[in-house]
Structure 1
Amino acid sequence: MNSVQDAIYNWLTIKIVIDARPEDTAAVETEKMFYDILLEKHMLSNIEVSKDEDMYYVHFDEQGERKKQRFPRELIEIMLNQINQQPEKYRNYPQ
C-alpha cells in the first residue's frame, strides 16, 4: 500500500463496515490496522469523513497542509453491500 489514496480507500471501505456493524470484530481489527497505516506510514492527522448523495470526502492534514480526497459512494460501499446481501458468508466470530 504505497499511495496515500490507496491507504485512505482501504481504511474508508472497512470503516463504513464497522459503522454499520460495530460488533464485527474482524472488521474492527482491520480498520485499526489501516488507520494505523494512515497515521504511522503516511503521517496523516485530523482525519475526518463526510459524504453526500454521490461521494465520500476524507479531509486530513499531511505535512502541515489540509487536504481532501473524494471517492464515489458505490465504490466505498461495495463491501458493506456484499455483506448485507449475503450475511451468512460474513458471520461474526467471537474472539
Structure 2
Amino acid sequence: MKSLQDTLYNWLTIKIVSLERPDDTAAVETEEMFAAMLRDEHELSNIEIEKDDVMYYVHYDQNGERKKSRFPRELIEVMLNQINSEPEKYVNYPED
C-alpha cells in the first residue's frame, strides 16, 4: 500500500489532467483507480480540491476528522503541462 501522501499526489495530478481532458479515457480510468484507493485503502470521503496561485489544497474526511494536504501547483500541473506542450504524444485512441 502506498502512503496517503503519495496516493493523494498521484490522484490530484491525474485528476487535474482528467478535468482538462474529459475525453482522455486513460486519464479518467487512472483517476478512478486512485480515487478508489483513497476511499478503500485510506478511508477518505468528502474530498474537495481548492487552489490558489501557488498551491493545491485537498480537503477530506478521515476517521471522523476533517483534514487538509497541500501540494505545489508546479508539481501537480507538470503532467498536464507536458501533455499540452506535446499533444501529438498523448493521443486519445477510441475504444473498439
TM-score by length of 2: 0.97
- TM-superposed CA distance for 1:10, in Å, is 0.3
1:32 aligned partner: 32
1:50 aligned partner: 50
2:9 aligned partner: 9
Dislocated runs of 4+, deviation >4 Å:
none
Q: Which runs of 5+ in 1 are unaligned?
A: none
Identity of matched residues, %: 69
Q: AA paired with 1:55?
A: M
- TM-superposed CA distance for 1:2, in Å, is 1.9
For the aligned residue pairs, the C-alpha RMSD in angstroms reads 0.7
Counterpart-to-counterpart distance in 2, 1:65 and 1:71: 20
**Aligned residue pair count:** 95
- CA offsets per residue over residues 6-30 of structure 1, 9 Å max, x none? 0000000000001110010110000
Q: Which runs of 5+ in 2 are unaligned?
A: none
Structure 2 counterparts to residues 66-85 of structure 1, below 5 A: 66-85=66-85
Identify which of structures 1 and 2 has the higher relative contact order when contacts are C-alpha pairs closer than 8 Å and 6+ apart: 1
